[in-house]
Structure 1
Amino acid sequence: MAKKRHPTGGTPATVALDRAGVAYAVRAYEHDPAAQSYGLEAAQALGVEPARVFKTLLVDTEQGLGVGIVPVDALLDLKAIAASLSMKKVTMADPKVAERTTGYVVGGISPVGQKKALPTVLDESATTFETILVSGGKRGLDIEIAPKDLLRVTGGRTASIARRG
């Protein structure tokens, strides 16, 4: 997969991927402000099965924030991510804190290029795909990337952290 730059000059995510020499493809779509689920909107707009499109969620570990990346058609299992982060308990991070910490807006939080490196866990289902899609750093922009490259650039690891609702 060749690197493709976004016509607007990129986001912190694409800049970070370019710096790291990671191959990715930009997948842009027209974001509908009325969409109830950013992730499912992306899957539908891009014609990709929802299991291959991943959302970035932040959790509060009481010792700082952590990142969980799960398919858009699944939920984040808080007990599972707590265990994978070696914590007893986590809660979902306050959206304003998540935005301030990552530098991205909710619905466009990318696991790549955040202001501060956070412990990151990618649901192991991602490894069944050659490439997955994650937010590119703004609503209406996804990045298609190999899971192994996403893990390398985020310093993340895999675990079973998704559950079907």
Structure 2
Amino acid sequence: MAHKDRGGSVATPATVALTRAKVPYAVRAYEHDPAAESFGLEAAQALGVEPARVFKTLLVDTGTGLAVGVVPVDHTLDLKAMASALGVKKVAMADPVAAERSSGYVVGGISPIGQKRALPTVVDSSAFGHATVLVSGGRRGLDLELTPADLVAVTGAITAAIAR
């Protein structure tokens, strides 16, 4: 898939990082509803994509720093599995302010790609059950579609079963 822009020309740190890395992706934009309770499920519905293909980006606190978990929007992050994947005793969900400060993105628009600081990243292994997956493009109402292999490569992620 060559870079396909299906939502107007958009430059975010995520799209810049993908372009710089020569990773093919498609921009998938939609009208974000501020009243939506789940940003990820809203994206899946608005884009007509099964929720299992749309992945949300969650930051966790390991006690010594932050890490990124990427799981399908219709699942939750299994904190024990995440800790195990990272090789730490336990993790807790990161404070939203700390997540925004570290990533450079706003909650609901945090992309695993192009964050201000590169963090340890774990992508749920279910991603490889799909030809392409969608992740936040760096703002609410903007998703990027790419192959799971490219997502893992560009984020330097490991894969593990971290969704439940």
TM superposition score category, shorter chain reference: over 0.9
Superposition pairs for residues 1-165 of structure 1, below 5 Å? 1-5=1-5, 7-163=8-164
Q: CA deviation at 1:4?
A: 2.8
**Following the alignment from structure 1 to structure 2, what is the Cα–Cα distance between the partners of residues 40 and 88?**
31
2:154 aligned partner, one-letter code: V
Distance (whole Å) between structure 1 residues aligned to residue 158 and residue 23 of structure 2: 17
AA in 1 matched with 2:129: T
Aligned residue pairs: how many? 163
CA positional deviation for 1:46: 0.1
- For residue 63 of structure 1, report the CA deviation from its aligned partner: 1.1
Following superposition, the deviation at residue 153 of structure 1 comes to: 0.5
CA deviations 1:23-67 (Å, max 9, x no partner) are 000000000000000000000000000000000000000111000
CA RMSD of aligned residues (A): 0.9
Q: How far did 1:157 drift?
A: 1.0
Post-superposition Cα deviations, 1:122-156, rounded to whole Å, max 9, x if no partner, equal 00000010100000000000000100001100000
- The one-letter code matched in structure 2 to 1:78 is L
Q: Percent identity?
A: 71
| Counterpart residue type for residue 37 of structure 1 | S
Q: Which runs of 4+ in 1 moved over 3 A?
A: 5-9
Alpha-carbon distance in 2 for matches of 1:127, 1:4? 21
Letter in 2 for 1:17: L
Supply the AA of the counterpart residue of 1:101: S
Please state how far the C-alpha of 1:8 moved relative to its aligned partner. 4.3
- For structure 2, list consecutive stretches of 5 or more residues without a partner in the other structure: none
**TM-score, length of structure 2 as denominator length:** 0.97
CA distance in 1, matches of 2:111, 2:120: 14
What is the SS of the residue equivalent to 1:134? strand
Q: Which amino acid aligns with 1:40?
A: L
- Name the CA distance, whole Å, in 2 between partners of 1:15 and 1:4: 14
Gaps of 5+ in 1: none
